[in-house]
Structure 1
């Protein structure tokens, strides 16, 4: 894990939340080893050939995953079924909820495929 990810994790006060975020970040890297770790906009994120795939952030009541709008639209039903609170470009997983790793895997795989020919960081 890159130093910026470690610094980010060290700033999470609750040890259980820190472990949970570390587990998710480690899982992403292990599941998608081709993705590059990047720290920007005060959050750990993963990129593929220089384009954004997914980012994570924390707040007092939740951990958020941010895959951009098209992935949120495509997986809206699954995100609702998981009882995650959706935003336009991100979803919120309450600290009391389980992480649906299969859903995250599908979202990340979708973004990798959907952005295979994208040459910019964000979708245009």
Structure 2
């Protein structure tokens, strides 16, 4: 379910954060939490996106790899199935 949290568009499940989006001057930032980055690092590199431990930067002049975003969301849904908190601990 999309909602605005911390001035960012966030996708959430009933009880969990799945992804957050924010816009900067030259890129769209996607934050799937560190576990989502770690799980998708090879795909992030293959898409030629810059990333840190906590977010992926998609240049505004680059195509968006929607299958990668879907993979991050699906991973977070499955990985957080037994998580009792909004964020991973």
The interval holding the TM-score normalised by the smaller chain is: over 0.9
SS of residue matched to 1:75: helix
Q: 1:114 aligns with which of 54, 57, 79?
A: 79
Deviations 1:69-116 (A, max 9, x none): 011011111101101110111100001110001111111100011011
Measured in 2, the distance between the counterparts of 1:101 and 1:81 equals: 13
- The size of the alignment, in residue pairs, is 89
Which of 1 and 2 has greater Rg? Answer: 1
Q: 1:58 aligns with which of 3, 8, 23?
A: 23
Measured in 1, the distance between the counterparts of 2:56 and 2:14 equals: 24
Q: In proportion to residue count, which structure has more helix? A: 1
Match of 2:61 in 1: 96
Q: Aligned runs of 1:60-99 on 2, under 5 Å?
A: 60-99=25-64
Q: 2:13 aligns with which of 48, 55, 64?
A: 48
Q: In proportion to residue count, which structure has more strand? A: 2
Measured in 2, the distance between the counterparts of 1:114 and 1:49 equals: 14
Q: Please report the TM-score for the alignment, with normalisation by the length of structure 2.
A: 0.95
Q: CA deviation at 1:49?
A: 2.0
Q: Please report the TM-score for the alignment, with normalisation by the length of structure 1.
A: 0.69
